[in-house]
Structure 1
Amino acid sequence: MASKQSETFSPELIRILKIFGIGTLVFVFIMSFFNEKRANNSGLEPSEMRITDADRLYFRNVRASSYDLEGRNDAKMNIYRHGKREKSQELPTLNFAIFLNRVVDEAYIFIEPYPEELPLQLRFTTAEEVTSELTFYGGNKFDHFNFAMEYFQKFEEGVQLQMKVQDEWVSILEEEKERDILKTVFSDYFRLINKPK
């Protein structure tokens, strides 16, 4: 009985199994460094920001000409900012940028206020009273997304907007042109992620 076992596991076969086993472990270890995907611990479904190839192509071929493009190879992202947005570094303003993640086929919307004071405090008003306030403390793509959705909901109601800058409330986005640009950015973003307005 012992001779049959020794015939099946000869020293050469054992050596080959060891080499194969160690080689497999080394391969798995090396490949783990190239895994770009990260765990989603946000509570949001990843599909909320997922984009299809058709939507990406439509945006790049039709809508991207209205935007300034910044390629961020370090983050594997393309950043699109509306070309007619307010670029002045003198007056407070609020812009939104669309980020396209080239690795995981997702689109994000990020807030870009000037000045970049955090927390960002916004106040929505009508002619008679303050209707609500929003505060943004910064954060990841999900925090930006949630804040942008809250902001857009209020923005659609047509209320006036004020931003707190150095303890003073300053009116922003008063011109129709600025408001139209924001509507365009949100419209393009919703089209990218297949989300009805």
Structure 2
Amino acid sequence: MANSPSNNDTSQKEMFKLLKIFGLTSLGLVLVLSLFNGHRANNSGEDPTFKIKDAGLLFFYNLRRIDYQVQRLTEAKIEIYTHSSFEKDSTQNTLLLDLILNKNKQTAFLYMKPQGVFLKSESLKLRNGKLPNQETLTLNIGTADRHIHLEASKKIIQWLQQEEGFVEVFSNNKWNNLFQNKNQKEAFNATFIDFLKITANK
């Protein structure tokens, strides 16, 4: 026997109620997941360590860029920033830290660039000048691995931030102060901090 109109109405009401519950549940789930969007696992294959954050880049452009000299590689959409407090004399023996922005890939990274006689070396042997906890670091000149530059920069910053901390380089068969003046140390530190702000790293 065919269903009566009242039975059809009841079935339709129950179906409508189920769809409504399902829809509201789905919507609630989407909203909850969106709160944790920034904590999702990274499956894109890109390293978030070097990813530019819009707020950080805006801060850099508005407040910090004035302290840098910039070289632009227009076709590649790359900007290379060198802090103005670094020694401008290219014959000065020191280690520069460049901040490189790749606007095409929305990435930022650090690049340590030797200057003066250090350009002729295949590697630089560095150490912190604090005893008794002395550490050493060997930097291969010309390596393009951004992870190596970042980790080496972190180690140098750690040395510089110690009380009365300084960095030495082994040259001419003896250890010499790498940063000859306070401005160079401050420029290295400022560049590192600006990288952290641009990429929202801690």
Q: 2:56 aligned with 1:50, yes or no?
A: no
Q: Verify the 8 A CA contact 2:85 2:183 in the aligned structure 1.
A: no
Q: 2:136 aligned with 1:133, yes or no?
A: yes
Q: Verify the 8 A CA contact 1:123 1:130 in the aligned structure 2.
A: no
Aligned to 1:176: 182
Cα distance in 1 between the residues matched to 2:49 and 2:112: 18
Q: 2:95 aligned with 1:88, yes or no?
A: no
Q: CA deviation at 1:143?
A: 1.7
Q: How does 1:1-197 map to 2 (within 5 A)?
A: 46-114=47-115, 115-116=118-119, 117-126=121-130, 128=131, 131-137=134-140, 138-158=143-163, 159-196=165-202
Q: Verify the 8 A CA contact 2:83 2:98 in the aligned structure 1.
A: yes
Q: What is the alpha-carbon root mean square deviation over aligned residues?
A: 2.2
Q: TM-score, structure 2 length as denominator?
A: 0.67
Q: TM-score, structure 1 length as denominator?
A: 0.69
Q: CA deviation at 1:173?
A: 1.6
User: What secondary structure does 2:88 align onto?
Assistant: coil
Cα distance in 2 between the residues matched to 1:65 and 1:172: 26
Q: Verify the 8 A CA contact 1:97 1:110 in the aligned structure 2.
A: yes
Q: Which structure: greater helix fraction?
A: 2
Aligned to 1:3: none
Q: Structure 1: which amino acid aligns with 2:177? A: S
1:67-114, Cα deviation, whole Å (9 max, x unpaired): 001001354310000012112233311110100011111110110122
Gaps of 5+ in 2: 1-43
Gaps of 5+ in 1: 1-38
1:32-82, Cα deviation, whole Å (9 max, x unpaired): xxxxxxx96xxxx61011112222122112111110010013543100000
